[in-house]
């Protein structure tokens, strides 16, 4: 375990260093990048299998880096929630990397592939560290690694719009990072530790007012990073400006990383009462504002970005319930949305490559141009709308059942909002389908790219990878039973962190 737990983080970090050394050899980078990310998926899968079969670990494995015993040293912790997200995130990162390889890292300048691959691997390392971090400081470090990498990725092949979006993204992210560092300092001043397992005991000894203030501060920090309404305005203005494959990574993982951090901190350090109603109100506002925003825009990337904001509300809804059923639904929704949101943006890349357009005013005729792309869009569009029997329906059903079973009027109201947001999402997806696929191509539309240039860009690889992600979303439905069971056990662990504490504080790097 001393090797296996850190491996998903160490592998991409070493891969990024190797990619920087050989950054002028693009052919080698196209091989190295996918191999490293595949190694991350393999290591995460082995870790998941070990935790699933080794009952002695109680579903938690902890490693004390450098031999320093907790709570003094750096602790990496893998539990049922973190390894599940490691596997799913690794698979999506691999798919997007292969898509970029098939595209020839398309859209990049002559020397930028030597920047794209090492930066992408560094981002992968940051995502993995975030899921494994056992203390607040390394959670902060993981976000900073992701911030530095994502800014580079966002501003690749710079344009005026892209640089403005990059500045907006960076300023907002740095603001949340300053607040995070402030919260971290306040926690250390109040409790004398930043180790999460140790904090889970010491925070409970603090006065109720101090606990509530710290909990709300972390809600603001991760609310900014996760684009929770009203802290969401930066996202629709930033994500659509980046290259589509970059936006796919951001939409799939960066906001979900913030949701994961919020779930981890709120359940481990600030359980239930102090902010439950606040989270439910914010969840309802996020769902409504995001999905209504998706109906008001013509650019498909902005539509998807607002949809992303709206559906963060579903995960916050499950957390706000602070029940096993609610957290189970939130975890299922995390898994579903990571896969489906990445798929939608990769499909939009294929749509743009086939038509040269992202504006719904000038899109049209895609159903006749490519029935294959039409199917690739239709499946995740139905899934994100929650149409049965897709993975979105499975995840939303779990949340609806949790909300209705809560017995609180506020929970009932937010459940109603969630149903309405699903209908609004379906309207937004139907609008894209009607204007982009069914109607005839407008006369002022751009000339479609030539078949030769599109093929040279690796279209078959791009289509195959996107199709695999579509199938992956369907497999979530097929294996909904085992996935729900695993998510239920992970949710139970979150609300009863005794096994987490034992693994860390008893030096259980077994």
pLDDT of residue 507: 55
Is there a contact between 63 and 509 (Cβ–Cβ < 8 Å)? Answer: yes
pLDDT at position 316: 95
Report the share of the chain in percent with pLDDT over 70. 94
The tens place of each residue's pLDDT in the chain, 510 residues long, gives: 778 899 999 999 999 999 988 877 878 888 999 999 999 999 999 999 999 887 767 889 999 887 788 788 889 999 999 999 999 999 999 999 999 888 776 456 555 667 889 999 999 999 999 999 999 999 999 999 999 999 999 888 878 888 888 898 989 999 999 999 999 999 999 999 999 999 999 998 889 888 889 999 999 999 999 999 999 989 998 888 888 889 999 999 999 999 999 999 999 998 765 678 899 999 999 999 999 999 999 899 999 999 999 999 999 999 999 999 999 999 999 999 999 999 999 999 888 888 878 888 888 888 888 889 999 999 999 999 999 999 999 999 999 999 999 888 999 999 999 999 999 999 999 999 999 888 877 766 666 655 444 445 578 888 999 999 999 999 999 999 999 999 999 999 999 999 999 999 885 443
Judgement on whether residues 237 and 138 belong to the same structural domain of the protein: yes
If asked whether residues 16 and 31 sit together in one domain, one would say yes
Contact 301, 432 (CB under 8 A): no
Residue 449, C-beta contacts closer than 8 angstroms, at least 6 positions apart: 353, 354, 356
Identify whether residues 2 and 53 lie together within a single domain. yes
Please indicate, yes or no, whether residues 182 and 35 belong to a single structural domain of this protein. Answer: yes
Q: How far apart are CA 9 and CA 27, in angstroms?
A: 24
Examine the domain organization and report whether 268 and 280 are in the same domain. no
Together in a domain, 245 and 131? yes
pLDDT tens, residue by residue, 113-142: 678 899 999 999 999 999 999 999 999 999
Is residue 170 domain-resident? yes
For residue 195, being part of any structural domain is answered with yes
Has residue 7 been placed in a domain?
yes
140 and 260 assigned to the same domain? yes
Give the pLDDT of residue 102: 83
Is 369 contained in some domain?
yes
Position 335 in a domain? yes
Q: How many CA atoms lie within 13 A of 258 on its CB side?
A: 29
- Residue 453 pLDDT: 46
pLDDT (0 to 100) of residue 18: 93
Same domain, residue pair 88 and 135:
yes
Going by C-alpha positions, the residue among 358, 254, 350, 259 that lies closest to residue 303 is 358
Question: Which residue in the block uniquely carries the two structure tokens 């029940």?
Answer: 323
Calpha distance 88→253 (Å, rounded): 10
422 and 294 fall within a common domain:
yes
d(CA 70, CA 232): 36
Residue 44 lies in a domain: yes
Assess if residue 24 is contained within a domain. Answer: yes
Whole-number pLDDT of residue 508: 40
Q: Which of 181, 316, 194 is nearest to 258 (CA)?
A: 316
**Is residue 484, in this structure, part of any structural domain at all?**
no
Nearest-angstrom CA–CA distance, 279 and 285 = 10
- My answer on whether 261 and 279 are in the same domain is no
Q: Supply the DSSP string of 175-225, one letter for each residue.
A: HHHHHHHHHHHHHHHHHS--BHHHHHHHGGGS-HHHHHHHHHHHHHHHHHH
Residue 497 φ then ψ, to 5°? -80, 20
Question: CA–CA distance from 105 to each of 109, 148, 306, 358, 384 (Å)?
Answer: 9, 20, 26, 19, 27
Query: Which structural domain range is residue 373 located in?
Result: 275-478
How many distinct structural domains can be found in the chain? 2
Determine whether 305 is exposed, middle or buried from the number of CB atoms within 10 Å of its CB (0-12, 13-18, 19+).
Answer: buried
Model pLDDT, residue 509 = 40
Whether residue 477 contacts residue 394, with contact meaning beta carbons closer than 8 Å, is answered with yes
Taking the C-alpha atoms of residue 351 and residue 369, their distance in angstroms, rounded to an integer, is 10
Is 262 found in the same domain as 114?
Answer: yes
Check whether residue 201 and residue 213 sit in a common domain: yes
């Amino acid at each position: 375990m001393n090797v296996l737990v850190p491996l998903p983080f160490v592998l991409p970090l070493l891969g990024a260093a190797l990619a920087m050394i050989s950054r002028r050899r693009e052919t080698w980078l196209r091989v190295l990048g996918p191999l490293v990310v595949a190694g991350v998926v393999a290591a995460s899968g082995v870790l998941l299998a070990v935790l699933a079969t080794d009952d002695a670990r109680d579903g938690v494995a902890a490693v004390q880096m450098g031999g320093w015993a907790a709570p003094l040293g750096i602790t990496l912790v893998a539990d049922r929630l973190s390894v599940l997200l490691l596997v799913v995130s690794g698979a999506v990162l691999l798919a997007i990397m292969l898509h970029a390889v098939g595209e020839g890292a398309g859209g990049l300048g002559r020397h930028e592939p030597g920047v794209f691959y090492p930066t992408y691997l560094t981002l992968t390392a940051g995502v993995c560290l975030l899921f494994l971090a056992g203390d607040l400081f390394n959670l902060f470090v993981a976000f900073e690694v992701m911030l530095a990498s994502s800014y580079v990725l966002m501003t690749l092949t710079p344009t005026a719009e892209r640089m403005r979006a990059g500045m907006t993204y960076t300023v907002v992210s740095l603001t949340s990072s300053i607040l995070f560092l402030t919260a971290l300092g306040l926690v250390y001043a109040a409790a004398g530790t930043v180790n999460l397992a140790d904090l889970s005991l010491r925070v409970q000894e603090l006065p109720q007012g101090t606990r509530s203030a710290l909990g709300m501060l972390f809600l603001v920090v991760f609310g900014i990073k996760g684009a929770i309404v009203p802290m969401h305005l930066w996202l629709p203005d930033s994500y659509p400006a980046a290259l589509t494959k970059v936006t796919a990574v951001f939409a799939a993982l960066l906001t979900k990383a913030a949701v994961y951090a919020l779930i981890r901190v709120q359940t481990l350090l600030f359980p239930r009462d102090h902010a439950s109603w606040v989270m439910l109100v914010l969840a309802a506002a996020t769902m409504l504002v995001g999905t209504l925003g998706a109906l008001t825009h013509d650019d498909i990337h902005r539509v998807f970005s607002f949809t992303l904001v709206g559906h963060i509300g579903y995960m916050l809804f499950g957390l706000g319930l602070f029940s096993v059923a609610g957290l189970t639904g939130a975890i299922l929704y995390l898994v579903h949305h990571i896969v489906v949101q990445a798929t939608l943006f990769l499909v939009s890349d294929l749509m743009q490559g086939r038509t040269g357009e992202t504006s719904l005013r000038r899109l049209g005729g895609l159903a006749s141009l490519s029935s294959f792309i039409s199917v690739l869009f239709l499946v995740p569009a139905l899934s994100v709308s929650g149409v049965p029997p897709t993975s979105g329906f499975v995840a939303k059903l779990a949340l609806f059942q949790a909300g209705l079973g809560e017995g609180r009027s506020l929970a009932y109201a937010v459940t109603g909002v969630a149903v309405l947001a699903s209908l609004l999402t379906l309207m937004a997806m139907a609008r894209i389908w009607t204007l982009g696929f069914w109607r005839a191509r407008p006369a002022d539309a751009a000339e479609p790219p030539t078949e030769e240039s599109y093929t040279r860009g690796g279209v078959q690889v791009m289509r195959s990878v996107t199709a695999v992600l579509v199938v992956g979303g369907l497999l979530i439905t097929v294996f909904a039973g085992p996935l729900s069971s695993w998510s239920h056990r992970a949710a139970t662990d979150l609300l009863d962190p005794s096994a987490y504490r034992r693994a860390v504080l008893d030096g259980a790097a077994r």
